[in-house]
Amino acid sequence: MQKSWRDSALLAYALAILAFLYLPLLILALYSFNDSRINAVWSGFTFRWYASLLNNQRVIEALTNSLIIATISTLVTTTLGTMAALALNRYKYKFKGVINGLLYLPILIPEIVMGLSLLVLFSQTGIALGKGTLVVAHITFCISFVIITVGARLEGMRKDLEQAASDLYATPWQTFRYITFPLALPGIIAGALMSFTLSIDDFIISFFVAGPNSTTLPLYIYAMVKRGISPEINALSTCMMCATISLIVISQLLQPQHKSAKK
Amino acid sequence: MKKTSYVVVTLLACLVLLITGCGNSGSKSADKATQNGKEKQVLNLFSWADNFSPEVLAAFEKKYNCKINYDVFANNEELLAKIQAGGAQYDVIQPSDYMISTMTKLNLLEKLDKSKLPNTANIVKSLQTPAFDPKGEYSVVYTWGMTGIVYNTKYVKQAPTSWQDLWNSDYKGRVILLNDSREVFGMGLKKHGYSNNSTNKAELDEAYADLKALAPSVLAYDTDTIKQKFIAEEAWIGMMWSGDAYFTQKDNPNIAFVIPKEGTVIWADTFAIPKGAKHKELAEKFINFMYDPKISAQNYEYIGYNDPNEKAREFHAKEFLDNKILKLAVDKVAQGEWLKDIGEAITQYDKYWTELKTIK
Amino acid sequence: MRNGKLLVAPAMLWLSLFFAVPLLIVVLVSFATRTPYGQVIFKFTLANYQRFLEPLYIKIFISTLFTALVTTVITFAMGYPLAYTIAKLPVKWQQPGLILVMVPFWINFLIRSYAWVIILRSQGVVNTLLLNLGLIKQPLALLYNDYAVMLGMIYALLPFMVLPIYVSIEQMDKRLLEAASDLGAPPWTAFRRITLPLTMPGVAAGSILVFISSLGMFVVPDVMGGAKSALIGNLIQNQFLSARDWPFGSALSIVLAVLALLLIMLYYKALQSQEGGASDAKELA
């Protein structure tokens, strides 16, 4: 393929946006070495925050809670959401317009309203607050994102492949497993990524439905604001970034060299 | 296949997490922790972040063989909303002064049994029965301070003496106001000599007119990152709490703090026990423990706020007692007025506050 | 499959239990009254909705909707090319590319905002650089204004535009573009009449997600805007916190939801009337 100036311009533009996304992270990483508890201005270089991070049981517990809750809620949300998106796309429902509209509501309702109303619901029905209520709340506000994203993918999908499959006597399950699912997979993964991202950084809803001893990382950080967020958090974020990027690189290297057949 | 390697890596990551998670977290249950078959009591503490010396907390855990679950909140209203909506399971909470009056009116607090809290007699007399809790029945003052004018001596050559100095056009675009409607309007009211709990519409209108004139000069309304703004010298002058001013000055020696002549807000964070607390006895022991003179000295030097415990003076370091900013609050305590719950008038305050924010 | 319809049931069940019921509580509270000390008593009143009609609040709604609209447009302008570039990468680099775009959003938003403050403040990275290069004499006021708020919103919401659009572009049949160029269509025309219409589902999904999300934002106006703008997110936040007026806050939330839903429906109607172009392209396949 000939590379036109358009392709180069596009690439440059995309890289610029990527730089825009990562610039604050670079600053964060830099300031994780700042010798100042309040971390307002640069005061000198130190490693002590990384050291104190390893000893900070509470923040590691908060991080673990966040990751576990995000993983569980992503799994459930993606499953429920994909099923719903499939059904909405394939079948005619009487009140389809209404259902579609209702899907936007969980995102429209401000988080503080959702958090408080969920808290009222839990307390009136006697459900104890804790990690479970956090997972429930996270699933609730993530489902719509998954349904909408997977729905967009399904809408753009060509129906003729499924048609061909059923013409060739494939059962509905086989059609789903070998045709629909692989074709929809990028949409499902996109939905899962969104759900994970939303869950891992939620704090307002989490604040209201968390119980004693189920602090998540965003809650921990948010509450730290009054006394100033210590560079320990910068150190933690830098470690998280490096860990994730390393995982990506490693998984790329682990891949076999042959190309998988494209659709 | 591409997918397999992703799965493998993810599973490995999960495994690592589980190991660190299990290794690090103490008890998972919020109620009872067992150790060698003996039941270990648990205290559920709900407070501001970093509000206790970790050593003091550890000492309490050791002395009474218990575990403290220290959960955090970031502002009073969130604390209230959470307790009001029900289901919160805390034993000790730390509302600020005005929140105590609201919570008592809403019947959300347990009455304190002073016989179980002998150490609280160590507290400075004037703070034992503050205006927001006249009989000292529901709360004990933990930290206190006053709001004043903070300024950077590099840019503000003339030390401010009055709230009016914030309106000085030399500081246009460099003024910070607290992001709190009661504090800001309280300041506006005090400037005219009115009470900062005024519900008189005419007085409020005067305060609002002044603040409206100031609004275009304001760099930002900020309570959370105000220290950073002054340390980084984005702002030159503004409203700040005395405790925060103490910390700001440590990081930037150009910072100075005054209490204006018209008077100001005196505020306190307190201990209180919510109604229906499950571990009330342990909660009382905790509160009592905090006012033991030696413990107080250790605690307050860590958190850097004024120590209300008179008996702790002999255990404090000289430089802590002599710190100008902390001392200033002690000297001027008579000029402070506590913020009270103003009932229905809050709606008018909120309306003016919203309008103030829409001014460009 | 007859039972296929039931696939939607688990999600709907979940939402009706954990969303519809709380939502009902919100609706009920919006018609309730506030006691002087901030409690909610169930005395029916329309006052909360009437209060919304005051000019102050209408002004805030309009300015919020406008900000959300501009944010959506700019996010689209930034997100589409990025999604396109990722979709054009060799297949084995696409998923890592996506995750690379997502990684910043797994880091806490508050501290990323504070990093922006370090970059943009008067003694920050940008100003120090420009001053040292002699390009400016006085530091630029890059923070605590409406532009900073918009920057913050775009920064927060970019992935919600990129992901759905990527998903649509990736599934497009590339042979259509080849056919177009074989027939002599210039690249821009091919984009306008084939790519864009076919990727509309992704664009619509992304735009709606970004638009809706920006309506409720309150952290960005506080941190990047110096808490100087009154957007509907801050207003509602206030009602539940410092103003302790849950009924008014609930009413505002319901009005916000209804207005936004109306706008979305209008958007969909507008898209459907453009469907002509999309179905032409689909039929080519």
- Mean pLDDT throughout C183-194? 84
Percent pLDDT > 70 in chain C is 94
CB contacts < 8 Å between B and C, how many?
90
Q: Which residues of B touch C39 (CB under 8 A)?
A: 84, 106
Which residues fall within 8 angstroms of residue B59, CB to CB, at 6 or more apart?
B295
Domain A64-224 fold: MetI-like fold (1.10.3720)
B84 → chain C, closest CA residue: C39
Task: Kindly determine whether residue A148 and residue C109, on different chains, have CB atoms separated by under 8 Å.
Answer: no
Residue B354 per-residue DSSP state: H
Task: Kindly determine whether residue B49 and residue A38, on different chains, have CB atoms separated by under 8 Å.
Answer: no
> Measuring CA to CA, which residue among A151, A207, A105, A201 is closest to residue C18?
A105
Counting Cβ atoms within 10 Å, is residue B327 exposed (0-12), middle (13-18) or buried (19+)? Answer: middle
Residue with the bigger pLDDT between B150 and C90: it is B150
Residue with the bigger pLDDT between A124 and C67: it is C67
Q: Which residues of A touch C261 (CB under 8 A)?
A: 101, 104-105, 108
Percent pLDDT > 90 in chain B is 59
Residue C197, CA atoms < 13 Å, CB-side half-sphere: 20
Task: Kindly determine whether residue B357 and residue C227, on different chains, have CB atoms separated by under 8 Å.
Answer: yes
Kindly list the domain boundaries of chain A, sorted by start residue: 64-224
Percent pLDDT > 90 in chain A is 42
Task: Kindly determine whether residue C244 and residue B346, on different chains, have CB atoms separated by under 8 Å.
Answer: yes
CA distance A247 to chain C (A): 10
Task: Output the pLDDT for position B28.
Answer: 40
CA distance C270 to chain B (A): 33
Task: Output the pLDDT for position B31.
Answer: 40
Q: Which residues of A touch B6 (CB under 8 A)?
A: 251
- Mean pLDDT throughout A35-40? 88
B234 → chain C, closest CA residue: C122
Q: Which residues of A touch B229 (CB under 8 A)?
A: 40
Which of the residue ranges A107-116, A163-172, B158-167, C47-56 would you say has the lowest mean pLDDT? A163-172
pLDDT of B21 higher than 80: no
User: Which candidate in A227, A229, A254 is best for mutational testing of the B interface (most B CBs within 10 A)?
Assistant: A227
Task: Kindly determine whether residue B225 and residue C238, on different chains, have CB atoms separated by under 8 Å.
Answer: no
Measured CA to CA, the distance from residue B342 to residue C26 in angstroms comes to 26
Q: What are phi and psi of B29, to 5 degrees?
A: -80, 145
User: Which candidate in A15, A28, A33, A108 is best for mutational testing of the C interface (most C CBs within 10 A)?
Assistant: A108
Q: For the segment B244-298, what is each residue's pLDDT rounded down to a tens digit?
A: 998 899 899 999 999 999 999 999 999 999 998 999 999 999 999 999 999 999 9
- The secondary structure element, H or E, covering residue B42 is strand B38-47
Task: Kindly determine whether residue A71 and residue B30, on different chains, have CB atoms separated by under 8 Å.
Answer: no
- CA dist B227 → B78, B222, B239, B269, C108 (Å): 22, 9, 11, 19, 21
Q: For the segment A40-97, what is each residue's pLDDT rounded down to a tens digit?
A: 899 899 999 999 999 888 899 999 999 999 999 999 999 999 988 888 887 777 777 7
A residues 208-237 closer than 8 Å to B (CB): 208, 210-215, 219-220, 222-228
Task: Output the pLDDT for position C277.
Answer: 45
C residues 39-68 closer than 8 Å to B (CB): 39, 56, 59-60
Counting Cβ atoms within 10 Å, is residue A42 exposed (0-12), middle (13-18) or buried (19+)? Answer: middle
Residue A206, CA atoms < 13 Å, CB-side half-sphere: 29
Task: Output the pLDDT for position B165.
Answer: 95
The CATH classification number of B30-144+268-331 equals: 3.40.190.10
Neighbour tally for A15: CB within 10 Å:
12
pLDDT of B9 higher than 80: no
| A122 and chain B in contact, CB less than 8 A | yes
Dihedral, A247, A253, A254, A260 alpha carbons, nearest 10: 120
Measured CA to CA, the distance from residue A108 to residue C263 in angstroms comes to 12
Neighbour tally for B173: CB within 10 Å:
13
C117 → chain B, closest CA residue: B229
Residue position matching structure tokens 């393929």: A1
- CA dist B317 → B55, B294, B298, B312, C239 (Å): 17, 12, 10, 10, 44
DSSP string of B88-114, one letter each residue: ---SEE--BHHHHHHHHHTT-BPPP-G
- Mean pLDDT throughout A183-193? 91
Strands B264-271 and B66-72: unpaired
pLDDT of B4 higher than 50: no
Measured CA to CA, the distance from residue B129 to residue C148 in angstroms comes to 46
Strand, helix or coil at B279?
coil
**Banded pLDDT at C8 (limits 50, 70, 90):** confident
Task: Kindly determine whether residue B73 and residue A122, on different chains, have CB atoms separated by under 8 Å.
Answer: no
Which residues fall within 8 angstroms of residue B261, CB to CB, at 6 or more apart?
B161, B162, B335
Work out the mean pLDDT of chain A and round it to a whole number: 87
Domains of chain C from N-terminus onward: 49-284 (1.10.3720.10)
**CATH 3.40.190.10 domain locations along chain B:** 30-144+268-331, 145-266+335-358
Measured CA to CA, the distance from residue C169 to residue A82 in angstroms comes to 19
Which of the residue ranges A124-133, A229-238, B84-93, B201-210 would you say has the lowest mean pLDDT? B84-93
**Banded pLDDT at C12 (limits 50, 70, 90):** confident
B7 → chain A, closest CA residue: A251
Q: Which residues of B touch A64 (CB under 8 A)?
A: 17, 20-21, 24-25
Task: Kindly determine whether residue A248 and residue C163, on different chains, have CB atoms separated by under 8 Å.
Answer: no
- Mean pLDDT throughout C256-264? 88
Work out the mean pLDDT of chain C and round it to a whole number: 88
Neighbour tally for B285: CB within 10 Å:
19
- Mean pLDDT throughout C267-279? 66
Q: Which residues of A touch C271 (CB under 8 A)?
A: none
Task: Output the pLDDT for position C171.
Answer: 86
Task: Output the pLDDT for position B10.
Answer: 55
Work out the mean pLDDT of chain B and round it to a whole number: 86
Task: Output the pLDDT for position B88.
Answer: 64
CA distance B200 to chain A (A): 32
Is the domain spanning B145-266+335-358 CATH 3.40.190.10? The answer is yes
Task: Kindly determine whether residue B234 and residue C243, on different chains, have CB atoms separated by under 8 Å.
Answer: no
Task: Output the pLDDT for position B84.
Answer: 81
B228, B344, B355 ranked by CB distance to C36: nearest:
B344
Strand, helix or coil at B256?
strand
Q: For the segment A145-177, what is each residue's pLDDT rounded down to a tens digit?
A: 999 999 888 888 877 877 887 788 778 777 778
Secondary structure, 3-state, C151-205? HHHHHHHHHHHHHHHHHHHHCCCHHHHHHHHHCCCCHHHHHHHHHHHHCHHHHHH
Counting Cβ atoms within 10 Å, is residue B337 exposed (0-12), middle (13-18) or buried (19+)? Answer: middle
**Banded pLDDT at A257 (limits 50, 70, 90):** low
Q: For the segment C94-153, what is each residue's pLDDT rounded down to a tens digit?
A: 888 889 999 999 999 999 999 999 999 998 999 999 999 998 888 889 999 999 999 999
B106, B343, B358 ranked by CB distance to C60: nearest:
B358
